[in-house]
Structure formats: structure tokens, C-alpha cells
Structure 1
Amino acid sequence: MFFDFHIHGNHELAIEAETMGYCGVSLVVNSQDCNDNSGIIKNLRKATNHLPDDNKFIINAGVEIHARNPEDLKKKVKKFRKKADVILVHGGDLKINRAATEDPRIDILSHPYRSRYDSGINHVLSVKAAENSVAVEINLKYLLLTRSNQRHRVLNQFQQIVKLHRKYKFPMIINSDASSIYDLRNPNDVIALASCFGMTNDEASRALSTAPREIMDRNKIRDETILSGVRLIK
């Protein structure tokens, strides 16, 4: 059961992902595009209405948080955590990367290496990500859109993430960051591509299946706990 938890699109892109062999996706919007009255997140949830009644394909509503600083990040996580199924953080800035790995309410730290020469993750952040079950993303779009003469840098960044994952055991997830059908990749092709940056087939399979399932299971427990608390208050 493979999942892609970083897709910027609508139900049509989700259906295309299903035809490629995925069992579920997260349709993601940027936090700048959301406000309390926008209804964007509710519209993402309605994407399941376009599926046949007997279809078990899973569509999650996700928000990618763009934060100016760690304090802004905390405020936005608080704002969106109860509204979204999956919370991603737009990484790259080292302070944001650290704040994201320290917050158990966050599901995915997206491209922590963005606009950097290093991986954006060190041993301290690796320990925090493992403790708080924050998945570190291998972002395929970041690799594929990088100029060919710079791809060796991205591959090296991915290799460093893989090495740290093996040592510190934080969750690692592979996502397409797709915004069109041309950005989507068949899961088997993704697994084959992952070997280029040192991942084994088993590691790539877990990054496409186990990591996203654990995010869904953890958030289900969180939601049930919140609902139980509400009932007790009432």
C-alpha cells in the first residue's frame, strides 16, 4: 500500500495517482492560501465525493506551513492542527527545521535541505525527529527540477538524510510534491530511483508505505483523544 502525502492539486490529480498504483494521497494547500473562513481545507475533504462509493482510496487534507520564524510556526501549527489531516512544514531554514523536529504535532518536515548545501538535518535534529515522530521528506520534485549540473548536490543531500535515518531511526517519507500529472511517478519507478541516493528497496518501500500509514494511525489516535476529551467536558 503506497501513499504520496505531498500533492498540490484537486481530485483529478488524486485519481491519477490512484491509476499509478497509490492507495492514498494528501492533497496539500499552502498556509498562506488558508484562513479561518476560506473553506479550502473543507473543499479538499470533499474530493472523496468524486470517488465511487465502493472505492477505498484515501484522500487526506494537508497544509504545508510556511513560517517566518519558530514562534510563527507554533502559532500556525496550533491554528491548523485540528483542521488538517496532515501537517507539513516548509523547511530549509535551519531554525525552522529545528523547531519542526521538536514539535510532535507536526507530521512531515518537507525538504529541509531546500536552498542549502547541506542536508538541513544534523544529529541533534535527527534525535528530535525520532523522539517526536516527525517524518523527514525526500522530495522528488526538488531533485527533478534542479538543474542537471547541480543534481549531484541534491543526491548528496538525500544520501546524508538516508545515513542519518539509519543511525537515528527517525521516520523518512518519499513524496512527489506534484502539482500536475507530469510530476507524479509510479511507486515502482520511485523505488528504483531511490537506489540512486543509496536507499535499499525495503527502505524506499517503507518510506512510501509504513511512514504515511503511521502518520494516519497517530493522527487517528490524536483525534479520538480530542473527541474523548470533549465528551468528558460536556
Structure 2
Amino acid sequence: MFFDFHVHGDIQLAKEAKRLGYNGVALIQSSKNYSNEDLSDVTEIEDDFKIFKGIEIFAKNPEDLKKKVQKFRPKVDVLIVNGGNVKINRAACENSQVDILAHPYKNRRDSGINHVLARKASENEVAIELSINSMLKTRSSVRVKTLSQFRQIINLQRKFKFPLIIGSNAHSIYGLRTPQDIITLTKCFDMDLNETIDSLSQTPINIIKKSKIRKNIIVKGVKIVG
């Protein structure tokens, strides 16, 4: 089962993802122009294809991030933080209410993730996203840097075992790639087959499982039953 949890679009874009071989997508809105009505009728296309509601949070600083996470967490299945700023990257990795830190390397020379953040992401089960369009929609010199940043993150993931996820960050059908295409592309930054499949399958599944039980969790490791 393959999922793309970073799709900016509507039902038509979700249908295209289904045609390409996905079993589900998260349709992501920006926190800058969030509208609950836009997602009120989003459930599923067919029984074998699920659509999840998501938000991408753009925050000015860690305190702003914390407030927006508290605001949007009850409203969505998938909560993404727009990364790149080192303080935002760290705040996201330290917050167990965050599902995904997207492109922590954005506008940076390094990967945006170090040993400290990798350990925090692992402890709080925050998935670090590699955006396929970060690699494909750039000029050659930037693409080389992005590949290096991806490799840095993968090496840290192998050591600290934080969740890793691959998303398209697609805004149109032209930004989507088939799962098979992504599996081929990940060889360029040294991911093996099992790592890629986990990033497209197991990590998204775990995010949804966590989302379903989150309201019953009092603190990490303690939840209400019955």
C-alpha cells in the first residue's frame, strides 16, 4: 500500500493519485488560508482509496508554531510543519503533536537536521519528509545539493531511527509521480528498496494509526481505554 501525504489539491488530484497507483493521499491546506469547509466532504473515493485531511503550518517562530499546532491538531488527520528555519525545525522535532517536518533543508546549505534534532524526532515520532519535487523542480546545481542533503538525512535516520516519509508536495497532476518512479528515484540518494517502501507505506500508516488514538492519549505511553 502506497501513500502520498503531501498533496496540495482537490478530489480531482486525489483521483489522479489513485490512477497512478496510490492507496491514499493527504490533501493538504496551508495554515495561511485554511478553510474547514473545503475539507468537510472529504472522505474517500472508493473503499480501497482513502483521503485524509491535512494542514501545513507556516510559523514565524517556535511560539507561533506551538499555538498553531494546538489550533489545528484537532481538525486534521495529518499535521505538517513547513521546515527550513533551524528554530522551527527544532520546535517541530520536539513536539509529539506534529506528524511531519517537511523539507527541513529548504533554503539551507545543510540538511536542517543534526544529531540532536534526529534524536528528538525519534523520541517524538516526528517523520522527516524528503520532498521529491525539491529534487525534480530545481536546476542542476541545486539538485546536487539537495541529493547531498537527502543523503545526510538518510544517514541520520539509519542511526537514530526516526520515521522517514517521502511526499510529492504536488500542486497539480504534473507534480505527482508513480510509486514505481519514486522507488527508482530514491536509488539516486542511496535509499534501498525496503527503506523506500517503508517511507511510502509504513510511515503514513503509522501516522494515521496515531491520529486515530491521539484523542485518548493523556501523556506519551498512557491512554484512556474503554
CA distance in 1, matches of 2:41, 2:50: 12
Task: State whether structure 2 residue 63 is matched by structure 1 residue 68.
Answer: no
Change (3 A) 1:47 1:141: same
- The answer to whether the Cα contact below 8 Å between 1:41 and 1:84 also exists between their aligned partners in 2 is no
Q: Going by fraction, where is helix more abundant, 1 or 2?
A: 1
Deviations 1:16-73 (A, max 9, x none): 0011111000000100102xxxxx2343241336x25xx3311011000000000000
Q: Which runs of 4+ in 1 moved over 4 A?
A: none
Amino acid at match of 1:112: P
Residue in structure 1 matched with residue 42 of structure 2 by the alignment: 47
CA distance in 2, matches of 1:6, 1:77: 17
Amino acid at match of 1:217: K
Report deviation, 1:120.
0.1
Residue in structure 2 matched with residue 37 of structure 1 by the alignment: none
CA distance in 2, matches of 1:44, 1:187: 25
Residue in structure 1 matched with residue 151 of structure 2 by the alignment: 159
Amino acid at match of 1:117: R
Task: State whether structure 2 residue 176 is matched by structure 1 residue 187.
Answer: no
Report deviation, 1:210.
0.4
The residue matched to 2:90 in structure 1 has which SS?
A: helix
CA distance in 1, matches of 2:5, 2:31: 16
Report deviation, 1:76.
0.2
Q: Which runs of 5+ in 2 are unaligned?
A: none
Change (3 A) 1:41 1:191: farther
The residue matched to 2:42 in structure 1 has which SS?
A: helix
Change (3 A) 1:154 1:67: same
The residue matched to 1:202 in structure 2 has which SS?
A: helix
Residue in structure 1 matched with residue 140 of structure 2 by the alignment: 148
Name the Cα RMSD after superposition.
1.7
Deviations 1:91-130 (A, max 9, x none): 0000000000000000000000000000000000000000
- The answer to whether the Cα contact below 8 Å between 2:42 and 2:53 also exists between their aligned partners in 1 is no
Size of the aligned set, in residue pairs, is 222
Aligned-pair identity in percent equals 52
Q: TM-score, normalised by structure 2?
A: 0.94
Deviates more, 1:121-130 or 1:143-152: 143-152
Amino acid at match of 1:92: G
